[in-house]
Structure 1
Amino acid sequence: MGRGTHTTWKVPAAHKADPDYVAAADAFALAQAVHDRRTALGITQSELARRADMTQPQISRLEGGDVTPTLPLLHRLSIALEAELNLSFKGAELLVRFAGKAA
């Protein structure tokens, strides 16, 4: 497989002290990374849901940034998306990357 995608969400300085804003930014970064990897694989939300033992509405909420996933869910998503999940925090910035596994 090719290189994975990554998403970086930079929080404006004025919002770095607002924990709700930072949490929303983190959720969006993960949501975008899941969406990017899913579409790179060419699978639907329904197929991802099947692979991750979820429902399509749950995937939709996750990709919409409305869900804070648990570690077990992140693990299932990594397997379902056939990728290694990398999360990096640097201050208020979060980098989320699903790196496709080598064939």
Structure 2
Amino acid sequence: MAGYHTRWVRPDPLLEDPERIAIREALAFGKALYDGQLALGLSVEELAERAAMSADEIECIEEGGTAPTVALLRRLAAALNADVHLKAGHDIDSVWFEPHAA
């Protein structure tokens, strides 16, 4: 079926498609990192230095181009002096870094 008629029922989007889930997770990860960086007032270069990574790697993560792994989440949480939190689901706010108490 190439198209839809207005009277036809449209199928639900493929929300459980593994590729779509991976994209949403990478975007949530990137947003969390960017938000943590902004909260500390760090430049990309400063965050990269703290995480022993390159600025290009940090930018790739922030743009949603890197899948989150446990090791990478821990490394970046340490660089942000924060704890990483995950919640069920794959929405944009499902990952965040919470700064340690001062």
Would you call these one fold, judging by a TM-score over 0.5?
Answer: yes
Answer 1 or 2: higher relative contact order, Cα 8 Å, separation at least 6: 1
**C-alpha RMSD of the superposition:** 1.5
Q: Which runs of 4+ in 1 moved over 3 A?
A: none
Is 1:60 aligned to residue 53 of structure 2?
A: no
Deviation per residue, 1:24-77 (Å, 9 max, x gap)? 011101100100110111001111110001000000100011011332221110
TM normalised by structure 1 equals 0.80
CA contact (8 A) 1:89 1:95 kept: yes
Q: Which residue of 2 aligns with 1:4?
A: none
**Larger of the two Rg values belongs to structure:** 2
What is the number of residues matched between the two proteins? 90
Give the Cα separation in 2 of the matches to 1:82 and 1:60.
19
Which runs of no fewer than 5 residues in structure 2 stay unpaired? 1-11
TM-score, normalised to structure 2, is: 0.80
Q: By percentage of residues, which structure has more strand?
A: 1
